[in-house]
Structures are given as C-alpha cells and as structure tokens.
Structure 1
C-alpha cells in the first residue's frame, strides 16, 4: 500500500460532526472545508434545514461529501462507534475536561486513527455551541485560541482550522501503524457502563446526601481519561454486578433490579 492510499484509508476513519446546525450554508461550507484537506466524512445531528440548496451552493463542488452525510437524531447515535471524540468549544461551562490546542488535538487524533480507531470531531450549534450534555460525550475538548477581543469564528472556519491541523499532523509523519493495545471502548459501550455505574452507586447508597451529579461527573472524567478497552469494561461491569448482588443480599434493592444490568 502506498503512503497516499494508506493516509486515505486512515483519513476515512475520521468524521466531522455538526450538531444542531442552524444555517444550511454552514453545512456546505464545512463540507468544502474538510474536502480541501483530504477528508470526506461529514455527519449531521438534527440540522434545522437539510438537505437545502444553500448547502450545495456553499459546498462549491464538495457535493459528494454532502450526499454521503448521514443525519442522526442525537449526538450519541452519531458517534456510538467512535473510540475518540473531541468536542470543539469556545469555553467549558461547568464540565471538567482535558482541553487541547488544535495542534495537540491533531496529534492525538492522528495517533488514534493510526491505531485503527473511529474518531469524531464534534462542533455545536452556531449560536450556543455544544451543550453540556453533548460535551459530556466527548473525551476531550479542543479550543481554538482566537483573539479574545474578537473571538467569534464561523462554524466552517472552526472546521477548517481543525481539518488543516489534522492534515498537517498526517503530512508530518505521525504514526501510521496500529498499536498493540486493544481498542478503547466505543462511546456506546462507555455510556452503558456509566448508566450501570450510576444505578449501582444508588443501589449501594454510596452518595449519602452528597451530590450524585458531581460524583458521576468526576467518575466520568476519570474513566474517559483512562480510556478502558472492552475487556477492561467487562471487568468493571462485573464488579458493579457483584456489588449489586451484595446490595440485594443486604436487602437494599429488589432482586430484579440487582440483576437487570448484568
């Protein structure tokens, strides 16, 4: 396989996800932005208007990207099979998360792609950006350090910056061979684990009046940072299931509730 074809195969595992886009022209401009950098996968989450003529006009020939763009009802559905999800955000509001520059993010993205992973970069609504619930689905955030006195970037401009940095990381010779480490668990698998964890902590009365939301946010960040693989998740869920069984034996939870998450 030539270096060009290998790079194309790796690039095919990267998707740019636009969540709740207000203006169809921005969808077209984003399609053009990623196409000029050698990428072709655009995914849309609950766009207000799509398909739309403005999208095709602003795509300036990148109609192949638009025609293949899947539309999902939720962000969770759009990234369910991804093993690295990076959220582009101007600021983090109440969500503790590792934050990368575009160049740092590009290096991490290319390394994850080279390991054989499906990767997503997520962009929020033009006016409000990513919601806290959407940011929670991301492993890390990427922030473009624009001028604080005039920091507003058009959606497609932000997409262009990230796509450019990823292309430059590829051209710089970032690793292209898969690692020997097992793939990190996909978003869908992690969300199932987090749901199981939340139920188990309630079953064993862990919170004792403390903020359940705060504790779960911290644990979420811990496990996202650790990036457990599928086998590690199975071990963790086995521990949770045993804790639920013990809670059942202690009379804390009904038998049906203790077993439904195994």
Structure 2
C-alpha cells in the first residue's frame, strides 16, 4: 500500500539531500521518490548518503515540472513553513499520516511535496495542493533540513499505516480512486474556469482564482462532478459565441 505514496522533492540544490531523503524513506518502508528538476542529478554522493537505500535513488522518477509529478494523484499535500494565508487547509504531520493512509487503503495515489531547500514551494505550487502540511517545530529555532523533514513525515505515515484499521470504500470521507478527479484533471478545469471568467470580466486579479482553487480543492471533486462543471463552462462559452454571432 505504501507504494501508492510518493515523496516529491522539488528542485533540490544538493545531490546528497536526495540520498539522505531516500534513506529516510526506506527506513519507514516508502520507495516512490520523484524529483522535479533537481539542480544536480543523483550521483555518487547521493548513493553514499543513501546508506543502503541506493535502490530508491536509482529508481527515482525525474520529471521536468511540478505538474507532471502530481498529474495522476488524487491527493496532493504540500509542505511549507509559511502558511498563514492557508489556515483552512492546514494540517500537521500526524493528521497527514492518517489522511494519506486512509486514502491509500482505498487505492488512491498520494503525493507529498517538499520544496526547495532555501525557499520551499512557491505560492502557485501550494495552490495546487489540497492540504498544506506544517511541522510544529520550536518557533525560536525551527530549522529542519530536508532529510529531517522527510524522515518525520515518513515516520508518521508508517505509524498511521501500522495503526489504522481498514477503511471501507463506502466511507463518504474517502472516495474510491476511480471516482476522484486527479490533479491534472483539476488543472484543466481551473484553466478552463479562469479563461471563461476572464472573458466575462469576472476575474480582474489572481486573488479570485486563488480563492476558487481553495474552494474546489476542499470539495474533493469526483470525476463525474467535474464533468458537470466543465459542461456548464462549455455551455456558457457556446452561448457567448452565439450571442456574438447574432450581434
């Protein structure tokens, strides 16, 4: 089941951090590592610091964009230390573990995203995550390196995996994977929404779209619901074209 949980590292600056993160993952039973545009590809230092988890490093999936790393996932959780504007979607490591394991037991694919060592994830990337994960460290000294953060989250994932009883797929709080819209499908919908709303003059700044993203992310939209929403957008577009042609 843990194979359906991927750890995604975005634009890592040091190859050694890839190996250290892989070691942290393997000790907790995780193996799916995705690398988004790493500054340096896995090398001898990565293998050395992996300390026996070199199989995780060698099998890492390297992709050029954040979107490709999460495209087929139904649950995307982004980590960040600066989340004051995202309180409604904020979770801590223990809750993250429980949410992820409940989802994975229903067959969903989950991505947990760790940002750049110095600056973390961008606001745009955070908006593409359903939940936002923060580690409640000492406010006077909250410095965690990348591998430490990965280790802590992977520990909570394993703890939840060992303790959580099977979740029924009938449970309304967790949809089956074939029913939930994927990150890529949601991105198509958001692009469609923004394009139409701009043409209607409804969106004048990115703040509106950011709020709409958070709203739809919280809703855990199913594929058939998303099809209805996109059908509504298309119907409005056709109506606009008809009105223009008759003018």
TM-score, with structure 2 as normaliser: 0.93
1:38 equivalent in alignment to 2:29: yes
Q: Which runs of no fewer than 5 residues in structure 2 stay unpaired?
A: none
Q: In the aligned structure 2, how far is the partner of 1:96 from the partner of 1:75?
A: 23
Conserved 8 A contact 1:83-1:185: yes
1:235 equivalent in alignment to 2:240: no
Q: In the aligned structure 2, how far is the partner of 1:122 from the partner of 1:97?
A: 18
1:205–1:251 CA distance, 2 compared to 1 (3 A):
farther
Partner residue in 2 for 1:7: none
Q: 1:56-135 maps to which residues of 2 (within 5 A)?
A: 56-92=47-83, 98-135=89-126
Q: 1:172 aligns with which of 163, 176, 184?
A: 163
1:244 equivalent in alignment to 2:237: yes
RMSD between aligned residues: 1.9
Q: 1:219-234 maps to which residues of 2 (within 5 A)?
A: 219-234=212-227
TM-score, with structure 1 as normaliser: 0.88
Partner residue in 2 for 1:260: none
Q: Which runs of no fewer than 5 residues in structure 1 stay unpaired?
A: 1-9, 253-262
Partner residue in 1 for 2:150: 159
1:194–1:96 CA distance, 2 compared to 1 (3 A):
farther
Q: In the aligned structure 2, how far is the partner of 1:163 from the partner of 1:107?
A: 12
Conserved 8 A contact 2:98-2:164: no
Q: In the aligned structure 2, how far is the partner of 1:95 from the partner of 1:14?
A: 23
Q: CA deviation at 1:95?
A: 5.4
The count of aligned residue pairs is 242
Q: CA deviation at 1:176?
A: 4.8
Conserved 8 A contact 1:42-1:65: yes
Cα displacement string for residues 196-237 of structure 1 (whole angstroms, at most 9, x for unaligned residues)? 001111222323xxx431111111111111011111111000
Q: CA deviation at 1:109?
A: 0.6
Q: In the aligned structure 2, how far is the partner of 1:236 from the partner of 1:157?
A: 41
Q: In the aligned structure 2, how far is the partner of 1:96 from the partner of 1:110?
A: 22
